[in-house]
Amino acid sequence: MSDGLGTQRDLGKLEAEVHQLQRDVTELRGDVKELMVTISEAKGGWRTLMLVGGAAGAVGALLAKLIPFIPMR
């Protein structure tokens, strides 16, 4: 008879652990979604930064090429 009670107790304990794991997974899903949004926003920021840096480099290179042709008084 005690064997049946022990089994029921073990099953109850396992059920509680499964419910806790389900809550943890749900929480992790929310965290992962937030991280994906942040990464997506950061990717756009890096693209903009690289575009501005490339444009500034091109303008600087153009000025460096044209400076020798500017007559000095």
pLDDT category at 71 given cuts 50, 70, 90 is confident
Range of the domain at 58: 2-69
Predicted TM-score (pTM) of the model is: 0.52
The DSSP output letter for 72 is P
pLDDT by residue (tens digit) across 22-49?
A: 999 999 999 999 999 888 888 778 888 8
Helices of type H across 1-73: 2-66
Number of domains in the chain: 1
**In this model, does residue 73 exceed pLDDT 80?**
no
User: 3-12, 23-32, 50-59: which range is least confident on average?
Assistant: 3-12
Question: What is the percent of the chain with per-residue pLDDT over 90, rounded to a whole number?
Answer: 62
